[in-house]
Amino acid sequence: MDLFLQESARRIGDDDVLTKVDALLDWPAFSAILKRGLRRTGIGPSGYDPLVLFKCLLVGQWHGLSDPKLERALKVRLDFMLFAGLDLHGTVPDETTHCRCRSSAN
């Protein structure tokens, strides 16, 4: 985690709801389930980590965000970035990626 996100995490604090949820759940177990469910061939670009996409979709559902609004929120809300595992200097999944991720889960 870069220095900016470390400072952001310090400012947001441990009392933040997303910080508490992040600490409570066994994310490696979710990650294993998500990777099995995707059945990726390994051909082509790897794309986003399935756990990151799952966490993004959770944030969107919990806050009633459309895919375009979720994309925007992930770019500007530090608490959303930290929860999803995104960093300030990386790319943010766009609205189409969220839509495809949700569709592949059905």
Q: Which residues of 18-46 are buried (b: 16+ CB within 10 A; e: fewer)?
A: bbeebeeeeeeeeeeebeeeeeeeeeeee
What's the pTM value of the predicted model, to 2 decimals? 0.84
Domain chopping of the chain, boundaries:
3-38+46-105
Confidence of residue 44 (pLDDT cuts 50, 70, 90): low
Q: What is the pLDDT of residue 73?
A: 97
Cα 23-99-49 angle, rounded to 5 deg: 45
Q: What is the pLDDT of residue 40?
A: 63
* Strand segments (E) across 63-104: none
User: Measured between alpha carbons, how far is 15 from 103 in angstroms, rounded to an integer?
Assistant: 33
